[in-house]
Amino acid sequence: MKLIYVAGKYNGKDPIEIKENILKAERVALECWRKGWAVICPHKNTGGFEIYEGEQFISWNTWMDGDLEMVGRCDAIVMVDNWVFSQGARMELNHAQQLKKEVFMSVDDVEKLNKIKYIANLEDKEE
């Protein structure tokens, strides 16, 4: 099973916008699972951690170092529709491209690739 990383905007102007961003990433992650991928969705991994920032500060660079490490361990990356508004998601995309990972600009692109691979497998069996 291949592993895919979900990249999109996390931060927002208030807790409601952050929750909306997490839900967008969650929907993409669920669709990728349905399409046969194992999924890393950092929004779900650390969702809500910002409420603890006053207790023991974790720098943005530390979060990004961890995210880029996860991207490196994945086979592919899929972008949530709000990714262009996130410096972190843009960095994750750039890192994936440098590592020559499969890049999907939307969850719909993941579906298209699955169909292409399925058709190719059928054609191979016919020979």
42, 70 contact by CB (below 8 A) = yes
pLDDT at 121: 46
CA–CA separation, 43 vs 25, rounded Å? 7
Walk me through the domains of the chain, giving residue ranges and CATH numbers: 3-126 (3.40.50.10400)
The pLDDT profile of the chain, 127 residues, written as one tens digit per residue, is 999 999 999 999 998 999 999 999 999 999 999 999 999 999 998 787 776 666 667 788 888 999 999 999 999 999 999 999 999 999 999 999 999 999 999 988 887 665 545 444 444 455 5
Q: Are strands 3-7 and 102-104 parallel, antiparallel or unpaired?
A: unpaired
CA-to-CA dists, residue 120 to 33, 109, 111, 125, angstroms: 21, 17, 14, 9
**pLDDT value of position 93:** 96
| pLDDT of amino acid 113 | 62
Q: What is the DSSP letter of 127?
A: -
- Cβ-based neighbours of 29, under 8 Å, separated by 6 or more: 6, 39, 41, 43, 44
Helix or strand (DSSP H, E) at 7: strand 3-7
